[in-house]
Chains A and B, each alone.
Chain A
Amino acid sequence: MKKGDFIKISLAFGVLLLLFACRKDIDFVIQGKEKPPSMQLESAKVWRHQRLDKMKPERLQLAPKWADAWTEQSTSGKSILIVPAREKRVQNKDLKIRRFFIFTTTDHSVSDGRIVEFVGMKYDVESNIRFLIRNFDRNSIAGFNGAIIQYDVNYRKPTNLVYKDGVKINAQMKIATYSGLELKELRDRHKAKIMATNASSGSCMPVYPQLVNFPPVIDECFYNYTEVWIYDADDCVIEHLYVYASHVCLGDDGDSGESSSSGSGSGSVDEGNPDYGEDPEPELPDNVPLRISFCDGLSASDRASIDSVAIVVSNLNCATKLINNRLNLELDLDLKVCIEDRVLQSGSYDPSTKIINFTTQWASTQSDLFRHELFHAYQDNVAYSNGIGGYGKTVAKPGFVNIEFEQAVFKDITEDPASPMALTHSSNTLLQDEYSNWIQSLTSNGTAYPNLSTPQARAEFDTNFLKYLTEFNASDPIYGNSDPIYGNNVIKADLKPEALKRIFNGLVKGGCGN
């Protein structure tokens, strides 16, 4: 090679290297973006850090890309600092989503900060992103079809504005991630609920939810989707849509993707890059009493004592509080309690009548027994789409022991994590100890609840659950195979512990009692 050629190649390489090193600055110059002063950036970092929920694992928090931040002036006159965040891949070509942290600033200090998602429905969000950002808090945005959803910095407490042809319309939108199984149930449950709501207004027509652009829904896969309710002037629901965004199934690659245009990703564990949509952790209102009704013939004092036990149980810990809230607030269930000597167990839950029955007044005052039966009510009404009435004690109707072991594991996780008891009667000492290790590991030695919010964690949980269930069935004198009454139990191998997975789906321990 000639000396001149070598110099030319070296120069070209040097120029390319320089361009690559300065690509962000060049991009900023071309786009006319203004870099924020470092003091303002630091102020935003501190502001966010002060407001982060310290109980929420950092890997589940959306991570800002501070190096890519720029400043804008919104059309409403606010100075705003825009910090891009990591994105997920959207697999539906009709749906575009981008998300940012938007901080409102005054001089160098920050007065407010939000996570803002821009959702385009057949609208090119990417090409219009700066236009959308400048108008993120306006009621009309020329030509925009979609929604702007704002959250606090912990990805909670969402508020949303939905637009059609640039104008805000009477509609709601949220983004969520659910398993295929949960999605099917949710759709069915909403179907009944929307019909009821509309019917109560007297003039609304029933509306059926529609899945839009979904691939075939598989129970075990996790779907990130946008749910839209559109109302008419009388607040009747006229359209209810589930618009597919993306999905991930067990065994898929957790492609985290950093492309700023479309982003990429999945529902798998991906630090600092949670799925679009509100953090699934439930907000737990304090001391919501369990709403129950009573069978005829119960005295006022019986009713009062059952009421007080119900309050104790629903506030035992964050998990029982969650159960209570879901049964009461989400499902609007009318749970009936009776004292009736018609069955010989001290307490029972009857899925066909939704009645918790105690055999004696004394039994009805036992909080442990009440908690046990309440968990079965949760399994029946929330966790299993067809209830638990079909799970019996024979080869023809297996599954009873699954339901009881799930209850026992719930008790160990919430009440006895340091010394779990479900396999106490096992003669297999090593397996019994392994079970204790499992519960302690799930609960970080009793300091936290299990986090079963990822497909991998759920799959592992299912496998271990089944392993210990087999030993439970072999050894438990009350619910296992050896019991003369409940004996001949048959495990239903494909019945997975859905109740536990729904409860411990990011639920934080602490602040709710024990």
Chain B
Amino acid sequence: MKVYTFTTLFCILSWVNAFGQIQLPAGKHEVNGNIFNVGYTDITVVVWNDKNIYPIPAPIGQFPPMAIRRGDMRVDTLQQQKIIKEIVKSRFKVLKEGNQWIRIKYIFNQSGEVMNVIFSFPHGALLTLTDVAEMDRRLRQELKATFRGVEYRSYQAIPYGYQYWFK
């Protein structure tokens, strides 16, 4: 009987360890020298680096500037996808089967560098804080926005959002 009990417990623990997400407690966490904030909404886990700049700088000048035209801002979505896929490589299939997603909101500066980035994903998604920290590091390093036209020059902070479905 003891053997059966231990075997069952072992199986359950192994399953949880393999597939269940270890719940991140809300608050501040240090990963590789960076402080990450974790918070919860009803639906999502939200993670952001303390490096994010707040308050976000307002547009330059006294009056509302023209919006950046559609197509005048380009962000390499393929590069984003590549980074995300490489980081979650081992769990990609499970994330895909679970119809999971991650939403990434950026603020770029006028030079196209990432100033702020916020990650959010559904509760229970198989993503760890280490995954998100690595995404944050690589996206800040490797991703750049490019701009055309003149409108972007009126902005010190240019938002961009992207939702990636694991598929």
A interface vs B, CB < 8 Å?
A: 344-346, 363, 366-369, 372, 416, 418-421, 424-425, 427, 429-430, 432-434, 436-437, 475, 477-479, 482-486
A479: which B residues are within 8 A, CB to CB? 64
For window 2-25 of B, CB contacts with A under 8 Å fall at: none
Check if B120 is an interface residue, CB within 8 A of chain A. Answer: yes
Given A416-B161, A421-B161, A436-B103, the answer on whether A427 and B54 have CB atoms closer than 8 Å is yes
A366–B69 CB distance below 8 A: yes
List, sorted by A's number, 28 A–B pairs whose CB atoms are closer than 8 Å: A346-B66, A366-B69, A367-B70, A368-B69, A368-B70, A418-B103, A419-B105, A424-B107, A424-B161, A425-B56, A425-B157, A427-B54, A427-B55, A429-B48, A429-B118, A430-B46, A433-B41, A433-B44, A433-B120, A434-B41, A434-B42, A436-B105, A475-B55, A477-B59, A482-B55, A482-B58, A484-B62, A486-B64
Task: Other than A419-B163, A429-B46, give 16 A-B pairs with Cβ distance below 8 A.
Answer: A345-B64, A369-B66, A418-B103, A419-B161, A420-B161, A421-B161, A424-B105, A427-B54, A430-B39, A430-B40, A430-B46, A432-B118, A433-B103, A477-B56, A479-B64, A483-B58
CA distance A475 to B56 in the complex (A): 9
A478–B161 CB distance below 8 A: no
Check if B1 is an interface residue, CB within 8 A of chain A. Answer: no
B162: which A residues are within 8 A, CB to CB? 418-419
CA distance A349 to B113 in the complex (A): 35
In the complex, per-residue mask of B47-80: 1 if CB is within 8 Å of any chain A CB, else 0: 0100000111011001111110110000000000
Given A345-B63, A366-B67, A419-B162, the answer on whether A429 and B37 have CB atoms closer than 8 Å is yes
CA distance A363 to B65 in the complex (A): 11
Please, which residue of chain B has its CB at the minimum distance from the CB of A372?
A: B67
Of the candidates B54, B56, B120, the one whose C-beta lies within 8 Å of that of A436 is: B120
- Number of B residues with CB within 8 Å of any CB on chain A: 33
A368–B67 CB distance below 8 A: yes
Check if B159 is an interface residue, CB within 8 A of chain A. Answer: yes
B40: which A residues are within 8 A, CB to CB? 430
B107: which A residues are within 8 A, CB to CB? 424
In the complex, per-residue mask of B69-106: 1 if CB is within 8 Å of any chain A CB, else 0: 11000000000000000000000000000000001010
A418: which B residues are within 8 A, CB to CB? 103, 161-163
Please, which residue of chain B has its CB at the minimum distance from the CB of A425?
A: B56
Of the candidates A363, A420, A429, the one whose C-beta lies within 8 Å of that of B66 is: A363
A478: which B residues are within 8 A, CB to CB? 58-59, 64
Chain A nearest CB: distance from B33 CB in Å?
21
